[in-house]
Amino acid sequence: MARGVLSLRVRVIVVALVVAIAPVLVVAGSGLLERNIGADMRARLEANAVEAAMLLDDGGAIESEVADSQARTHSIRLRIVASGTVVGDADFDRGADSLHQVGQLFFGPDGAPTLAEFDATLGPLEERPEVLDASAGRPVSGCRTSPGGKLLVCHAVVQRPEGTVIYAQESSRRAVRALYDLRYQLLRLTVAMTPIAIALALLLGRGIVKPIRALAGQARARAEDPRPMARLDEVGDAEIRELARSFNELLERLDERQRQNETFTADLVHEIKNPLATVRAAADAIEGGKLDGARAARLARSLRAAGSRLDAIVTQFLELARAEGGLSAEERTDVDVAALARTIAEASSAAREDVVLDIASAPEPVVVRGVVHSLDAAIRNLVENAFSFAGPRDGRAPFVAVAVVADEGWATIRVEDSGPGIPEAELSRVFERFFTSRGRGRGTGLGLALVKATVEAHGGTVTATSDPRRGATFVVRIPLMAAST
């Protein structure tokens, strides 16, 4: 386990503990929040009552209008009493702030009375202690709690010099009061439930962690094998089976890649062994010392051909490795593949004048974003292959057709020849490394593999089809510049 990172089992235990003590935490938190509600309400009400008195002192203000505006603005109940008569009474008390609205949502209606209902039980306004205690200009404030403690009502009283009384009230429902009253019982229940929660968390954590550890053990055992081909056991719950299945898919991909690399290495060694055998034979002949001019010339030609083949294999091998790596380190520019294909096709046609060349391309440039020398090599491989295989058909001269068009955001390059075509059994292998139908010693077998890797490095695709009556057709599709940026 990495330092500073809790294990899955510990996290399960922590979650279980938090859930177990959550009710006590909620009650304690609400108690702390409610502790200052009364003092805050009294301070606000004193300020509201003094403000109403100042408005009346300015003269010209109507008591009912002052009561209505102040009560509406501050969400309180405000009454103005003059000579024992209520001349202004406005009630806009909300009865609950956001905290208690949330509590009411979770715990349901608390059965608390409204401010008006509770106030009706307090007797006439002028006989209340706070009104009797109020002196001119000095507010008196306090709080009362309804029976059952479910409604907190605070008040502030200001008496003007001529005897007018401003009486402000605000209430607050205590939506979590029922739980608060049971806080000690909740605490005892939490203490009793905590060991049970920990035990359940341990069982749950073990149930989760055990199959994961078993799967990890299998993976480590496979990793220690010289050739980790065996599959992991897909047992356990659905999630564990899915995890094992994903590991198995990864192992299969790695194994497939390993087989491909082994095949590639074997093919490369085989291709290099032939020219190396020629070099060794020539070295043995030269070491013998008895060489006439004709034999020396033959040996020189053999060495030159072997060197050329080695150079071609190594060069294409390096190009293929870069292409399969995505050509990430290569500079990309705007490339007109229509002009590039035309230039390559015309150059190849000059080397085989017996082949009829048909070039069809869009009148405007067909531009892609790519590595120009890699695209040149890919298109050249396809075109030169077509010219090398093209032959007469049905009394007609050999032909090669090259077409380049822009089609719905793609540059499509089509190369067709009149050769013998590709047997259906070989179509799926034509893009494999070192696969060739030219015969021993002709070609490296890397050309079409390089075409595929280059096209895919440019975000495209290449396909091969064959019609025994017409020959082979290769189609390359690469995103146009506007679609690939």
Is the pLDDT reported for residue 264 higher than 90? Answer: no
- pLDDT band of 31, cuts 50, 70, 90: low
Nearest alpha-carbon partner for 399 in 473, 325, 329, 339 = 473
Nearest alpha-carbon partner for 157 in 140, 180, 172 = 140
Q: Distance between CA atoms of 272 and 276, rounded to whole angstroms?
A: 6
What mean pLDDT is predicted for residues 282-309?
A: 78
Is the pLDDT reported for residue 228 higher than 60? Answer: no
Grouping H, G, I as helix, E, B as strand and the rest as coil, residue 77 is: strand
Q: What pLDDT score does 4 carry? A: 47
Where are the domains positioned within the chain? 36-181, 226-324, 333-484
- Give the DSSP letter of residue 138: B
Say which residue, 100 or 145, is predicted with more confidence: 145
Pick from 153-157, 200-204, 416-420: least confident = 200-204
Whether 36-181 and 226-324 share one fold: the answer is: no
- pLDDT band of 100, cuts 50, 70, 90: low
Q: Are 398 and 355 in contact (CB under 8 A)?
A: yes
Q: What pLDDT score does 28 carry? A: 66
Q: Which CATH architecture has domain 226-324?
A: Orthogonal Bundle (1.10)
Is the pLDDT reported for residue 248 higher than 70? Answer: yes
H helices present in 175-292, as ranges: 177-181, 183-224, 238-288
Q: What pLDDT score does 133 carry? A: 85
What mean pLDDT is predicted for residues 103-120?
A: 73
Is the pLDDT reported for residue 137 higher than 60? Answer: no
Q: What pLDDT score does 119 carry? A: 92
Write down the pTM of the prediction: 0.49
Q: What pLDDT score does 443 carry? A: 55
Q: Distance between CA atoms of 139 and 125, rounded to whole angstroms?
A: 16
Pick from 72-81, 280-289, 398-407, 450-459: least confident = 280-289
Q: What angle do CA 463, 466, 470 make, to 5 degrees?
A: 130
Q: CA dihedral defined by 276, 279, 284, 286, rounded to 10 degrees?
A: -170
Q: What is the mean pLDDT of the chain?
A: 80
- Domain spanning 333-484 has what CATH number? 3.30.565.10
Is the pLDDT reported for residue 79 higher than 50? Answer: yes
- pLDDT band of 368, cuts 50, 70, 90: very high
Instruction: Say which CATH topology domain 36-181 has.
Output: Beta-Lactamase (3.30.450)
Task: Give me 182's structure tokens.
Answer: 């049971």
Is the pLDDT reported for residue 72 higher than 50? Answer: yes
Q: Are 197 and 17 in contact (CB under 8 A)?
A: yes
Q: What pLDDT score does 226 carry? A: 62
What mean pLDDT is predicted for residues 102-113?
A: 62
Say which residue, 441 or 465, is predicted with more confidence: 465
Is the pLDDT reported for residue 224 higher than 80? Answer: no
Q: What pLDDT score does 6 carry? A: 60
Q: What pLDDT score does 154 carry? A: 92
Q: Give the tens place of pLDDT for each residue, 316-353.
A: 778 877 887 888 788 899 999 999 999 999 999 888 88
What is the residue whose two structure tokens read 């004709």?
A: 294
What mean pLDDT is predicted for residues 110-129?
A: 85
Is the pLDDT reported for residue 96 higher than 70? Answer: no
